Amino acid sequence: MTPRNIFPQILTFIFYLLLQIFFVRQLVFLNHAFCFVYVATVILLPFDISRVQLVFLGFIAGMFIDIFYNTIGANAAAMTFIAYIRTPILALLVPQRGYDERQVLSLKSMGLSWFVSYVMILTFVHHFILFSLEASDFGLILPILVKVIASTIFTTLVIVIIQFFRKD
């Protein structure tokens, strides 16, 4: 990451956290689909960020949300985990032309199908961990899965819509 693009990344990171806390928190669809747009703080970080920095930023973002949601570390755990597995997921989804380390990770630069599959995978993992920790009972696996799938679709849709307004 060059000094030239650090400031926009910081602003994007803060934007998604504040968006979650002040606006998206109230977005619930049919009492099953919750929007956690703040996962984009980790998902949209540049390719060339180190794994240690990624995990640290994921933990910070999760703790920030935990403070406002009063969830005692559930968001921090889920965000730390998706930050940790982001690199292997990127390796799994590598396009034929490969990644350009200087390229911005966005819908416009990566294409719709790649971007949606990438966001959906990490969002699904995040939501599964978060809702499982909140329920703390795997006897509730069916309601957890309904919530996870509905919330993953909802969150991915919101992140994709926001990407249409992004200027690259």
80-102 pLDDT per residue, tens: 999 999 999 988 887 666 666 65
Report the predicted TM-score, pTM, of the whole model to 2 decimal places.
Answer: 0.88
- Is 62 within 8 Å of 25 (Cβ atoms)? no
Task: Name the CA dihedral angle for 144, 75, 124, 105, rounded to a multiple of 10 degrees.
Answer: 170
Residue 167, both tokens: 């200027």
* pLDDT for 95: 67
* pLDDT for 13: 85
- Separation between Cα atoms, residue 59 and residue 129, nearest integer Å: 14
8-34 pLDDT per residue, tens: 788 888 888 888 898 887 777 787 889
Residue 122, both tokens: 């990490």
pLDDT of residue 165 exceeding 80, the answer is: yes
Residue 4, both tokens: 């030239």
User: Considering the chain, what is the average pLDDT of its residues?
Assistant: 86
Burial class for 139, CB neighbours closer than 10 Å (0-12, 13-18, 19+): exposed
Q: Where are the domains of the chain?
A: 3-164
119-134 pLDDT per residue, tens: 999 999 999 999 999 8
Strands of the chain (E only): list them: 28-29, 33-34
- Amino acid at residue number 78: A
